[in-house]
């Protein structure tokens, strides 16, 4: 004996439009990463070594092509560099680290941890340097549906 199962039609048009709308904005935002940082070695012979972390919100859906982190320290920085090939520039007390992304995927839930070597005027100042604040800019682009590159 067979029982008749009514076919279920899944209407997903609204869902697809929702995804497109959420990812279709281009510009930048400063409310989508959770950022932190701390010194893991106050003197390595030349620099104070910081470990920086950033986690992208899972509640925001957009394609990120670049994120710029601005780390402001307690004293002027004379030299800084980051691992992983991120470009690093120094201006006064602030070190700017740029992470370029070439992914086509959504950035939701992305996370990154990297070390940042920071040097101040002398050994004592370098050892005492503290991370005062972090800001960032997340640049995102219009989604290209079906694009492959």
Binding residues (CB under 5 A) for Zn ion: these are 32, 64, 138
Least Å distance between CB 19 and Zn ion?
16
Indicate the residue among 56 and 119 with the shorter CB distance to Zn ion.
56
- 79 - beta bridge partners? 119
C-alpha 123/C-alpha 102 separation (Å) is: 38
Q: Which backbone phi and psi does 91 adopt, to 5 degrees?
A: -145, 105
C-alpha 115/C-alpha 100 separation (Å) is: 16
C-alpha 50/C-alpha 82 separation (Å) is: 9
CA quadruple 17, 20, 22, 24: dihedral sign: negative
Least Å distance between CB 28 and Zn ion?
8
- Token representation of residue 121: 């005027």
Least Å distance between CB 86 and Zn ion?
17
Least Å distance between CB 138 and Zn ion?
3
C-alpha 86/C-alpha 97 separation (Å) is: 6
Indicate the residue among 32 and 129 with the shorter CB distance to Zn ion.
32
Indicate the residue among 73 and 114 with the shorter CB distance to Zn ion.
114
Least Å distance between CB 77 and Zn ion?
26
Indicate the residue among 129 and 138 with the shorter CB distance to Zn ion.
138
- Token representation of residue 49: 């070594």
Indicate the residue among 93 and 135 with the shorter CB distance to Zn ion.
135
């Amino acid at each position: 004996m067979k029982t008749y199962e009514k076919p279920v039609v899944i209407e997903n048009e609204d869902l697809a439009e929702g995804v497109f709308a959420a990812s279709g904005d281009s510009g930048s935002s400063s409310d989508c990463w959770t950022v932190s940082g701390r010194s893991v070695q106050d003197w390595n012979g030349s620099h104070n070594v910081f470990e920086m972390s950033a986690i992208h919100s899972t509640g925001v859906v957009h394609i990120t092509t670049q994120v710029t982190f601005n780390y402001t320290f307690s004293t002027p920085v004379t030299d800084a560099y980051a691992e992983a090939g991120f470009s690093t520039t120094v201006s006064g007390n602030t070190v700017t680290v740029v992470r370029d992304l070439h992914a086509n995927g959504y950035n939701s839930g992305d996370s990154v941890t990297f070390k940042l070597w920071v040097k101040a005027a002398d050994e004592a100042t370098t050892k005492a340097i503290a991370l005062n604040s972090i800001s960032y800019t997340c640049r995102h682009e219009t989604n290209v549906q079906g694009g492959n590159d």
